[in-house]
Structure 1
Amino acid sequence: MRSFTLTPEQIVSILTALTADELARSFGRYVEGLTQASWTADTRLGVEGADVTAEQARACARRAAIFFGMPEDAVRVGPNDRFGDWAGQVSAMIRAEMTAFRFHPATHGGAADTRHAADDIWQDARGVAGLLQGRRRAATLVSRGSLMGLVSAVLAPNLQRLEVVDARRLTPDEMAESLRFGDVVIATPTLWRYLADTLPSIPSNVVGLSFGEALTPDLAERLRGRGLGAMRELYGSTETGVVGWRDSPSDPFLLFDHWSRSGQGLIRHRPNGATLPALPMDDLTWQTDRSFRLGKRRDGAVQIAGINVFPVKIGEMIAEHDAVESCTVRLSQRAGALDRLIASIKLRPGFEANQDLAWTIDEWCRARLQPPERPRIYTFVEEAGAEPASAASAGGVSSGSATATA
């Protein structure tokens, strides 16, 4: 039964992830991954710790209770709480009963959380655990506060009795030294790009597990060149759960055994014998009744660092700036580079396209958008969405158009 329980240390890792996410969503406070990884059971919520205010602590406690399917006021908040205190409360409650998880979507757009029966999440974890067969240890760089993070970095390793190492605390050199024969490394494609650029080497028989935005063939090839073995990729979402997997970006995804096709939708075959229909967040092009390739997102979202962002909504927000008449935002994907958003801006009469204005707009965006949602390049054009009137280097200005890198 130990495989189907959560240890206090694992609960702390979930609570710290939820706290960081809630601070970003509700209070506009972004906590870097390295800082979040440094929070432990002994870290205070308040001063000399996570530096969370009383109001923020109450919101984070509500988020924790919601995540574990409990009443919103289930986690009591005290003036000198540490993360370990909250973990103790949660541990006692889920030992008595744990029937559901409630996950916020991988976006900061304010959408409602999604409820999943706990048995369904454990069912997904059993599917992912099968992909970890034969691994000796898991090194993870992902947050445990999402559905995909919880399943891949906590529940599935539990089912295989794997030790889990939080590799977010390690430098690339330290991580290269710590990796061992038989490890599995869990990361999003954005983090895999970072590893491809910075890891000096990877020991033999180390495999990867990826989820989030699509893994590109170029990135997979670069990682194989570093010494990585198999690279397995998961497909799923907060709304559906974990649906499928593949061994290579060139392969179609395969459904896990507890899923089947139903027209353009899916059917989950639940542990209690019931069935549950689900609509995937992407258009699926079926190769067979059990294999598919991904099309476009149904809701217009794109993923930056595993976070869903909505270019249309971001463009509408930027268009509220006093100097902006209209704006379109698109995703830029280039081999060997990080995915990034590019904003094409048409200015109102009387405003001059230059780098200073681009910086002013970027500062305005920083106060309203989370880091994954912010464009990294601002291009001024005669018509929003058009190409610049002429080529301009980053930060340069020419012929009535300007391009600035944030």
Structure 2
Amino acid sequence: MPNQPAEISLNRLELDKASILAVIVSLLADELKSLRYLSVHHIGSELWDASTLIGDVHETCESDQYPIAIGADSLELLSLATRVATFFNIYDSGLEDYLLRFKTIGEWAELVVNARLRGSENLTFATSGSTGTPKQCPQKWDVLVNEAHFFAKYLGPDTEQPAQRIIALSPCHHIYGFIFSVLLPLQLQLPVIRGPQALALINQRKMQAGDLLIGFPFIWGQLTRQGACFAEGITAITSTGPCDPRLIRQLRQQGLERMIEVYGSSETGGIGMRGDPESPFKLLPRWQRGSHADSLSECVSGSDYELNDQLQWLDQAYFRPIGRRDKAVKVGGINVFPASISERLQSLPEVAAAAVRLMSPLEGERLKAFIVPAEGQDDEVALKALLQAWCTCNLTVAERPKAFTFGSKLPRSALGKESDWPL
């Protein structure tokens, strides 16, 4: 029997200005990261608020009114406005031109409020892929609200471990971060702590029972290596990629009460969930098994969705992802393609052969490269420096290998297949 559609909340959920402001800050920081080739930590977005000037303070006659300015030039400003207009579907209200007339983040947030009143209800998320143009993924507002409503019932006041506070370690402009650190706290009327403040709360051991941590595998790996301690009664939710069971077990040893894994994507939203890394995922109420193994069907519309993952079905409701069909891996929540990076490295005249892999959980969460030097490249120190410089100039942060190993031939198994190598 197919799953029944999710119950629709009786109370109309709507974004408030504070939530919109948080999403705009996250969007602008992410866009500037790409435009300026900086890490998000160098953007300084933790200091931005409603009064922050988006443009260059030197281009306004009222510079004294803006203690903080992003300093976007005319081309950056156009990119930032396009990013915000696309995410909030402002084009549906016809108000998109007003973004360039307003100066501050708070004025942009107010415009989004007005746009939503005029019909800009749905949202458009972007995939996190690092090759090519990110894919735009429109999502209906009611679908997002229904998913938040489902998890609000699962984590709300009528449960054994009700959430009391949201500690958000994931950016809220991604669909996962949006559902769990914007919609869920609105549904449950809970406070949210984000970004550096959230990390400081963990590092200073100021968490408390009822805290709900919203993160992803990269950050969980960081917390295990730091030896973070968790107070009794803390729940964590992970998504954006598979979380190694060893990480979850280690976090449990460090005091974490429970870890909930949510499987999904920007294209689909949440698909399934589980509370035990050894168990299969269970479909969320929106979905049923599709016409073939690697597809899903919406219960209400019957629309089919092709998945990027291969799924192993145990029955009509339970499944296990068994690998990406496109051979992508996640680095910091971003899709990267090791085979493509290997080919680019191997095209360099100094490299005879190259292999790129994701590090093991014990090694880290970044990529590593095995390099067979070309003839005459005997100085490994110089070659490593050359490769690191090339990667900095030609690869995104997530694509750059953080460890290089050199050898006379690529590692192979006894059967002749490419194999892993230790650092």
Specify the TM-score bucket, using the shorter chain as the normaliser. Answer: 0.7 to 0.9
Match of 2:83 in 1: 63
- 8 Å Cα contact 1:235/1:243 also seen in 2: yes
Q: Does 1:90 align with 2:90?
A: no
Q: Which residue of 1 aligns with 2:278?
A: 250
Q: State how far apart, in whole Å, the 2-side matches of 1:174 and 1:75 are.
A: 42
SS in 2 for 1:373: coil
Moved more, 217-226 or 31-40: 31-40
User: What residue number does 1:38 align with?
Assistant: 47
Amino acid at match of 1:53: D
In 1, Cα distance between the equivalents of 2:338 and 2:97? Answer: 36
Tell me the CA shift for residue 303 of structure 1: 0.5
CA distance 1:356–1:100, shift in 2 (3 Å): same
Q: Which moved more, 1:346-355 or 1:366-375?
A: 346-355
**1:144-223 matches, cutoff 5 A:** 144-172=172-200, 176-198=204-226, 200-223=228-251
**Residue in 2 that maps onto 1:296:** 323
Amino acid of the structure 1 residue aligned with 2:33: A
Taking the aligned partners of 1:382 and 1:197, their CA distance within structure 2 comes to 33
Unaligned runs of 5+ in 1: 388-402
Q: CA deviation at 1:320?
A: 4.0
In the TM superposition, residue 385 of structure 1 has moved relative to its aligned partner by 5.8
Partner deviation per Cα, 1:187-228 (whole Å, 9 max, x = no partner): 112112222333653221111111122222221122112221
Letter in 2 for 1:19: L
- Residues 254/351 of structure 1: CA separation in 2 closer, same or farther (3 Å cut): same
Tell whether the 8 Å contact from 1:172 to 1:199 is kept in structure 2 after alignment. Answer: no
1:381 paired residue number: 407
Q: CA deviation at 1:35?
A: 3.0
2:17 is equivalent to residue 8 of structure 1? yes
Aligned residues: 386
* Structure-1 residue corresponding to 2:135: 112
| Aligned-residue offset at 1:302 | 0.2
Q: What amino acid does structure 1 have at the position aligned with 2:390?
A: W
- Aligned-residue CA RMSD in angstroms? 2.7
Instruction: Write the distance in 1 (CA, Å) between the matches of 2:411 and 2:99.
Output: 49
Asked whether the 8 Å contact 2:247–2:361 carries over to 1, the reply is: no
| Distance in 1 (alpha carbons) for counterparts of 2:404 and 2:341 | 13
SS in 1 for 2:256: coil
Moved more, 303-312 or 33-42: 33-42
Question: 2 CA distance for matches of 1:295 and 1:27?
Answer: 37
| Distance (whole Å) between structure 1 residues aligned to residue 149 and residue 117 of structure 2 | 20
**1:338-357 to 2 correspondences below 5 Å:** 338-357=364-383
> Which has the higher mean CA deviation after the structures are superposed, 223-232 or 350-359?
350-359
Distance 1:341 1:67, change over 3 A: same
Partner of residue 266, structure 1: 296
Quickly say closer, same or farther: Cα 1:119–1:329, change in 2 above 3 A: same
Paired residue for 2:389? 363
Contact 1:173 1:199 in 2 (8 A): no
Counting aligned pairs with the same residue, the percent is 26
TM-score, length of structure 2 as denominator length: 0.83
- Partner in structure 2 of residue 327 of structure 1: 354
- 1:23 Cα offset (Å): 2.6
Counterpart residue identity of residue 49, structure 1: A
5+ residue gaps, structure 2, are: 1-9, 57-67, 157-161, 414-420
Letter in 2 for 1:239: E
Q: Counterparts of 1:153 and 1:108 in 2: how far apart (Å)?
A: 24
CA contact (8 A) 2:167 2:213 kept: yes
Alignment-mate amino acid for residue 151 of structure 1: I
Please tell me the residue identity of whatever aligns with 1:370: T
Q: Encode CA deviations 1:299-339: one digit per residue, 9 max, x unaligned.
A: 1110111111111122223234342344321112133x422
1:180 aligned counterpart, secondary structure:
coil
Aligned amino acid, residue 379 of structure 1 = T
TM (normalized to structure 1)? 0.86
Structure 1 residue 55, shift from structure 2 partner: 1.1
Contact kept in structure 1, 2:145 and 2:183, CA below 8 Å = yes
8 Å CA contact 2:137–2:267 kept in 1: the answer is yes
Structure 1 counterpart of 2:30 = 21
